């Protein structure tokens, strides 16, 4: 399945079958109004990779006309068309600003998001990486295309620590819009390591099994059934309105094995086994004993919608490929871990230098990448070779890549007239 496509992603997406992919992670142009340059090749010669500037021109008008035409027979395009007409009213009557630029950008992104919705499986989802320049407009389009009830999160990634912006607050974050195709979406729990300050504060004790904190061996509420409310080793939990609660097998530290019949033991029998294994903390002065909860057995903190633990790529980072707007692979690994499973197909329609593709392959997912920029495919191929030992035509396929200058000139002259395997 692993494939790279060179060409217009809208045309390629329209060639793909319905419900083909399980996850889309993509980092499209932001409507930033900037030129982006790449340093590709041994000579480090600067070359323009793409211009993130949009104009309400003939191409934008044609894109809107195509959306209106498709809206007659397609409910997704009808919702998209209505959304864009609403933006027309808002932006064309704005007191200031270049409304044509944002309308052109939305005419570009809208049909691509509609096709991304179509190719997702019913349990699929999408992460759309954007910045505050257009994220609020894109959210409106995604509400229309994916449905308001399928919005999952607006994820904030702190991409830099400091930025001086004169007469406004420093812009230090990107936005990642997370939508699902339906309520049956895949969402696996992903954890980050505990903060060192938290570990130092909470895990105050240490023995041969590592750092641990003292956790409760009881829960609130008096019970009259079984042994959980009865005295053990002279300690009566019911005297203070509690009952015994023993930990599950997963809470035992590595190297200390519970008996095979641990789950079937009575409460008092479990307490005896725990104590014999050195997992009960006996406090001084006869206080209530506790369970040794080891740091090594905890999963950490479940990730939330504000990401501050993944740093942007430093200038000297070994991960850098010289491609503009490159994002850290750990950011995309997190999204792929959360919203797909091994063997699933991950698509990036704006794959650039291949961060999503690299992350997907690392996590044993199948992948598909699309990019129109010739400059992107060379570093992407090199990345796959260096990181994973992958070779084109052997380990993955490349569709539509021009092999000589004659093909390049023809492509530039005639446009993308090719068809792509489904």
Residues 72 and 175 in one domain: yes
Q: Outline where DSSP puts E strands in 167-241.
A: 173-180, 191-192, 205-207, 210-215, 218-220
In a domain, 306, yes or no: no
In a domain, 393, yes or no: no
Residues 159 and 39 in one domain: yes
Residues 53 and 170 in one domain: yes
In a domain, 145, yes or no: yes
Residues 240 and 362 in one domain: no
Residues 45 and 185 in one domain: yes
pLDDT, position 25: 98
Least confident of 208-212, 250-254, 406-410: 406-410
In a domain, 321, yes or no: yes
Residues 316 and 291 in one domain: no
Max mean pLDDT among 2-6, 226-230, 240-244 falls in 2-6
pLDDT, position 168: 84
pLDDT, position 404: 57
Q: Which of 235, 267, 297 is the last residue of a domain?
A: 297
Between CA 304 and CA 79 the distance in angstroms is: 30
pLDDT, position 411: 56
Between CA 312 and CA 355 the distance in angstroms is: 13
In a domain, 406, yes or no: no
Residue 41 has pLDDT above 60, yes or no: no
- Residue 231 has phi, psi (to 5 degrees) of -65, 140
Domain that holds residue 357: 18-192+311-387
Least confident of 59-68, 189-198, 251-260, 374-383: 374-383
pLDDT average, residue stretch 154-170: 84
pLDDT average, residue stretch 177-191: 96
Residues 176 and 239 in one domain: no
Residues 85 and 26 in one domain: yes
Strand partners, 34: 52
In a domain, 242, yes or no: yes
Residue 32 has pLDDT above 50, yes or no: no
pLDDT per residue as tens digits for the range 95-153:
787 888 899 999 999 999 999 999 999 999 999 999 888 999 999 999 999 999 999 99
Model confidence at 421, pLDDT cuts 50, 70, 90, reads very low
In a domain, 334, yes or no: yes
Q: Which of 266, 297, 328 is the last residue of a domain?
A: 297
Collect contacts of 298-302 with beta carbons under 8 A, ≥24 apart: 298/194, 299/189, 299/191, 300/191, 300/192, 300/193, 300/194, 301/191, 301/192, 301/193, 301/194, 301/195, 302/189, 302/190, 302/191
pLDDT, position 69: 98
Model confidence at 363, pLDDT cuts 50, 70, 90, reads very high
Residues 145 and 222 in one domain: no
Q: Which of 275, 297, 319 is the last residue of a domain?
A: 297
Residues 284 and 374 in one domain: no
Q: What total number of domains does the chain contain?
A: 2
In a domain, 416, yes or no: no
pLDDT average, residue stretch 300-316: 91
Q: What is the pLDDT of the chain when averaged over all its residues?
A: 88
The pair of structure tokens assigned to 296 is: 């090594």
> CATH number, domain at 328?
3.40.50.150
Model confidence at 412, pLDDT cuts 50, 70, 90, reads low
pLDDT, position 374: 72
Residues 137 and 230 in one domain: no
Residues 32 and 158 in one domain: yes
Strand partners, 153: 178
Percent of the chain clearing pLDDT 70 (strictly above): 88
At residue 421's C-alpha, the angle toward residues 367 and 415, to 5°, is 105
Between CA 151 and CA 342 the distance in angstroms is: 24
**Residue whose token pair is 């057995």:** 297
């Amino acid at each position: 399945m692993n494939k790279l496509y060179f060409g217009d992603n809208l045309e390629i997406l329209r060639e793909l079958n319905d419900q083909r992919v399980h996850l889309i992670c993509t980092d499209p142009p932001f409507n930033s109004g900037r030129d982006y340059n790449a340093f590709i090749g041994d000579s480090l010669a600067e070359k323009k990779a793409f211009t993130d500037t949009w104009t309400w021109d003939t191409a934008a008008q044609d894109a809107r006309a195509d959306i209106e035409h498709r809206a007659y027979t397609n409910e997704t395009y009808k919702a998209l068309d209505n959304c864009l007409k609403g933006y027309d009213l808002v932006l064309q009557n704005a007191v200031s600003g270049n409304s044509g630029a944002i309308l052109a950008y939305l005419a570009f992104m809208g049909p691509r998001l509609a096709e991304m919705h179509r190719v997702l499986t019913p349990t699929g989802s999408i992460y759309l990486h954007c910045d505050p320049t257009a994220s609020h407009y894109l959210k409106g389009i995604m509400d229309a295309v994916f449905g308001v009830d399928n919005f999952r999160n607006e994820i904030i990634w702190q991409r830099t620590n400091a930025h001086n912006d004169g007469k406004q607050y420093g812009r230090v974050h990107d936005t990642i819009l997370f939508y699902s195709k339906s309520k049956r979406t895949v969402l696996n729990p992903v954890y980050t390591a505990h903060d060192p300050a938290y570990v130092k504060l909470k895990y105050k004790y240490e023995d041969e099994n590592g750092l641990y904190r003292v956790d409760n061996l009881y829960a609130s509420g008096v019970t009259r059934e079984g042994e959980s409310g009865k005295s053990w080793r002279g300690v009566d939990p019911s005297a203070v309105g509690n009952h015994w609660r023993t930990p599950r097998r997963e809470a035992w530290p590595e190297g200390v094995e519970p008996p095979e019949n641990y789950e079937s033991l009575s409460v008092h029998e479990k307490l005896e086994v725990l104590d014999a294994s050195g997992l009960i903390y006996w406090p001084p002065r006869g206080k209530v004993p506790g369970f040794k909860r080891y740091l090594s057995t905890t999963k950490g903190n479940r990730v939330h919608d504000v990401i501050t633990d993944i740093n942007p790529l430093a200038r000297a980072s070994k991960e850098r490929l010289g491609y503009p707007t490159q994002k850290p692979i750990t950011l995309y690994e997190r999204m792929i871990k959360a919203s797909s499973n091994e063997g699933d197909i991950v698509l990036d329609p704006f794959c650039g230098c291949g961060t999503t593709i690299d992350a997907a392959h690392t996590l044993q997912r199948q992948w598909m990448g699309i990019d129109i920029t010739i400059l992107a495919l060379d570093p992407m191929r090199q990345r796959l070779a260096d990181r994973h030992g992958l070779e084109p035509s052997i380990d993955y396929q490349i569709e539509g890549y021009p092999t000589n200058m004659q093909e390049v000139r023809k492509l530039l002259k005639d446009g993308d007239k090719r068809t792509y395997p489904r």
